[in-house]
A = this chain, B = another copy of it.
Amino acid sequence: MRLEDYNPMKNEMYQVIDPSGKAKEKDHIPDLDDEQLKYLFRTMLYTRTIDEKALSYQRQGRMLTYAPNLGQEAAQVGSAYSLDKEDWLVPAFRELGAWLVRGVPLKNIYLYWYGNEWGSHMPDGVKVLPVSVPIASQLQHATGIGMANNIKNEKNVVLTYVGDGGTSHGDFHEALNFASVFKSPVVFIVQNNQYAISTSRKVQTLSENIALKATAYGMPGILVDGNDIFAMYNATKTAVDRARKGEGPTLIEAYTYRLGAHTTSDDPTKYRDDAEVEEWRKKDPILRFGEYLKENNVVDDEWIEETKKELGEEVKKTFESIEDNSDTELEDIFKYHFEKMPAQLQEQLDEYRSFLEGGK
């Protein structure tokens, strides 16, 4: 595919399979074998299971705040799958699908949401940055990682995510501008899920779509159906290849919808209609991809059921493995501020320990 065939200034959107699962652009079906397709679908089912279980644990009081990615599975799984092993992922906080594709163990993910910093310590070789809570700030890290690649003459690229809300932030502007000026090999994905907590996308900006904002940086931008895993994969792959060839950054708007709540502390009925949600439920990316795969005899209902069961058990097992076993070690609170703990910190730790032990 060619990015320039879809002009965001004309509000053109790239789509490969339509909401019913039919191929719309036949020659855009990516060249992936059945195992790969199953992996993608399995990963989407995995994220769905993780979300659902997390929500139910949360309702049972066994989990803290959790940000579901319900509805955004294609946008994440499809885009992240375009990376090579050595590439970097710089997430915001809602990138469950991308984390899984990039090899972040579920244990880390749950540990993080469960309130333990060790969740953000990735296994060796997993080049995924920790969650960045301050909206849009992570984009600058992505740009910097890419700039370092250029300086070191390394060919890996950086994939980074931000929400529609994040595009209003100054850091978005600066990160894209730096990336463009320094030809940083970054692909910026805006997951436009139509809301920033309760705030509608319409309140964020009057530009007709977000992809066209790329123009301001002399950067290509493309609007993509974010619920279409093939469109997301193709567009991201094209942008990743561009970046790897030294042609600089790309902005991709994944047009999608947050089917769930912002986080478990949020009640979306306060700010949006059920009817709107229902409309989008019909466009559920998992339904769509499932239809396509069934139609093309890659999976059948039985496979789906079994996979779901298997995933459900795995998720349960992983969650339970951390549940009673994840309090923060006291020393860890102090130990990672500097390579060598300064005297003041050591003293505070000692004093507190001595208090815990019942006095000086």
Residues on A lying within 8 angstroms of B by beta carbon are 9, 168-174, 177, 180-181, 203-208, 212-213, 215-219
Contact = CB atoms under 8 A, between A and B. Distances in A.
A61 B171 CA distance: 41
A213 B203 CA distance: 19
Max chain B CB contacts within 10 Å: which of A170, A204, A208?
A170
A169 to B, nearest CB: 7
A216 B251 CA distance: 13
A141 to B, nearest CB: 15
Nearest to A178: B168
Which secondary structure characterizes the binding site on chain A? helix
Contacts of A173: 168-170, 172-174
Contact of A212 (B169, B171, B208, B215): B215
Contacts of A169: 170, 173-174
Closest 7 CB pairs of A and B: A170-B170, A206-B218, A173-B173, A216-B216, A213-B216, A207-B218, A180-B206
Contacts of A180: 205-206
B212 A217 contact: no
Contacts of A212: 215-216
A203 B212 CA distance: 22
A208 B218 CA distance: 7
A181 B207 CA distance: 9
A181 B219 CA distance: 24
B171 A170 contact: yes
A94 B50 CA distance: 56
Contacts of A205: 177, 180-181, 216-218
Contacts of A218: 205-208
B181 A174 contact: no
A208 to B, nearest CB: 7
A177 B181 contact: no
Max chain B CB contacts within 10 Å: which of A9, A174, A206?
A206
A49 to B, nearest CB: 38
Contacts of A174: 168-170, 173
